[in-house]
Amino acid sequence: MSGGVVISRQGYNQHKTENAIRVAPVSATCAAQLRSLRADLASYTGPKDLLLRLDGSDAAGLRDSQLMEIWSAALKIGTGDPKARPHSVRAAALQERAWPGWEQAAAEWLSTGTSDHRRLERWIESLQADWTRTASAAVVAGHGDLRSALGNYLAGWPLIRAMTVESLLQRQPLGPGLVRQVGLNAAALRKARSRSALSGAEAHQLFDGWSWLRQGLLRPMVSSQQLAQNRPQTLSPLTLQRSDPQRVSRIDSVQYVVLRTLGLTKHRAVESTGIPISVALELEGAVPDDDTKAELTRRARSSAQERGVEANIKVARSEDGIQIVDWLVGMNRSTLEFFRLCALREHAGSANFYKYHMWQPVVESMPPRFSILLRRGKVHLTPEEIRFHRSLDGQLKLKVDESIGECPVVSLAPRAKENQVLSARLTAVLRAALFITTNMYTKDKYAN
């Protein structure tokens, strides 16, 4: 390089700021040719700044316009993207200057789920060696600062970051504790290492534990999506109103909204349930506001703190949480509305709370691992109601509490042994699931 071409905003003063002025590095040969061309133009036009199409003639301008149309059509055909346009190439060029060779590295990483991690690490290190590269690329593109580049052009940044993180992880051993923490089998990790040692010794291939972990985490997502698409209609009569083949069971839909209500982030809820992102975006309309979330998950008189939020989410993602959702989805509407009325302590006429026979279908359909703790004031209990509750054989436990009015207090507990902490977590999941399930019964947008 021996210099650069200064590209001004001539002709676009009303649309571009001074930050749009850019400098494109050029070789000595190119610089000499440009100076010669400028001198030729100056001999005809004088020392003025001109905005020209090629040589400035009408024919040249028309040819340039036609070339732009042809290029635009070719981009759509070549990329397979009907929205591709010439300006997209600017973003591609900027990303190539920011991360030289990123397209080949990303294609290998995405297509196989694995890559040569030593080569990947060398590539990441080469990027980090020139720490002004991204800023220089933004200057060449005419950006005033990095905010424009990061916000509008460097769309591959999350992918580059993921590749960088995986490269750094290769230096750390994968232990059985982390494997168990993410819900995978540590014994399977040991077996995979043993198989690799036997089959890869001759090929001099080291076992890639992090790629094994990533594949193990992706597998349930794929199987869940396939199950949702292949599940017979008779098994999930209430499904999201979407065009085939993307139909999601109502259980998965409720599970997603429950997790979001309990505080799980959008992308983690998608990973947990395996539903398509397009479906998740539609279901966001069913997620309650922050005040309702806090009320549904509060414990006693206080809202759930950070540890409590994580614990509630963990229960909701467990087998217990899935069984709660499955239980509620299978209830008929009148039973579900009665259960919600009592569990959420909603305002209603006194007569609604004396329909104690409605507890029969609730407990009959309840998974056997759970029991319901029902607290009511003595003055509001009749002898008939007491006898009825005592006949439910431990599935529903009645506790007389003088501080409770006519509206009962309902808790869900493990039936095997008393555990107040777990009971609080189960109750939070139950309240959220009741709220979501009954709401989705009345919204045709979400249910058949």
- DSSP string covering 244-292: TT---BHHHHHHHHHHHHTT--HHHHHHHH---HHHHHHHGGGSPPHHH
* CB contact at 8 A, 143 and 149: yes
Torsion sign over Cα 256, 428, 319, 374: negative
Q: Are strands 396-400 and 370-376 parallel, antiparallel or unpaired?
A: parallel
Q: What is the pLDDT of residues 399-436, one digit of tens each?
A: 888 777 777 888 999 887 788 889 999 999 999 999 99
SS3 374: strand
Please choose, from the candidates 259, 275, 238, the residue with its C-alpha nearest in 3D space to the C-alpha of residue 445: 238
Q: Exposed e or buried b for every residue in 97-110, given b needs 16+ CB within 10 A?
A: ebbeebeebbeebe
Bridge partners (DSSP) of residue 374 are 398, 410
Mean pLDDT for 383-398 is 80
Mean pLDDT for 220-247 is 42
Residue 35: partners with Cβ closer than 8 Å, 6 or more residues away: none
In angstroms, the CA 104 to CA 102 distance is 6
In angstroms, the CA 193 to CA 59 distance is 68
Please choose, from the candidates 264, 309, 273, the residue with its C-alpha nearest in 3D space to the C-alpha of residue 425: 309
Position 245 confidence tier, pLDDT thresholds 50, 70, 90: very low
> Does the model's pTM come out above 0.75?
no
Q: Can you say how many angstroms the Cα of residue 391 is from the centroid of all Cα atoms in its chain?
A: 46
CB atoms inside a 10 Å sphere around CB 306: 8
Mean pLDDT for 39-44 is 75
Confidence at residue 242, expressed as pLDDT on a 0 to 100 scale: 35
Q: What is the 3-state secondary structure (H, E, C) of 117-181?
A: HHHHHHHHHHHHHCCCHHHHHHHHCCCCCHHHHHHHHCCCHHHHHHHHHHHHHCCCCCCHHHHHH
Cα–Cα distances in angstroms (integers) from residue 7 to residues 34, 35, 297, in the given order: 13, 14, 59
Q: Which two tokens stand for residue 194?
A: 């043993």
Residue 227 has pLDDT above 50, yes or no: no
Confidence at residue 426, expressed as pLDDT on a 0 to 100 scale: 92
- The CA-based angle 23-24-27, given to 5 degrees, is 130
Confidence at residue 16, expressed as pLDDT on a 0 to 100 scale: 66
Residue type (1 letter), 122: R
285 or 222, which is more confident? 285
The DSSP call for residue 375 is E
In angstroms, the CA 182 to CA 169 distance is 16
Residue 145 has pLDDT above 60, yes or no: yes
Q: Which two tokens stand for residue 110?
A: 């995405």
Residue type (1 letter), 306: E
Q: Which two tokens stand for residue 308?
A: 């409590």
In angstroms, the CA 331 to CA 339 distance is 10
CB atoms inside a 10 Å sphere around CB 317: 21
In angstroms, the CA 353 to CA 74 distance is 69
Residue type (1 letter), 8: S
Q: What is the pLDDT of residues 203-225, one digit of tens each?
A: 455 677 777 777 777 665 544 44
In angstroms, the CA 389 to CA 286 distance is 35
% of the chain at pLDDT higher than 70: 78
Instruction: Sort 73 into a burial class: Cβ within 10 Å, 0-12 / 13-18 / 19+.
Output: exposed
Please choose, from the candidates 432, 437, 443, the residue with its C-alpha nearest in 3D space to the C-alpha of residue 252: 437
In angstroms, the CA 359 to CA 372 distance is 10
In angstroms, the CA 436 to CA 259 distance is 11
Confidence at residue 261, expressed as pLDDT on a 0 to 100 scale: 92
Average pLDDT, the chain: 77
Bridge partners (DSSP) of residue 239 are 249
Task: Give the phi and the psi of residue 207 in degrees, each rounded to 5.
Answer: -70, 130
Q: DSSP for 12-52?
A: -TTT--GGG-EEEEE-HHHHHHHHHHHHHHHHHH-S-----
Confidence at residue 236, expressed as pLDDT on a 0 to 100 scale: 31
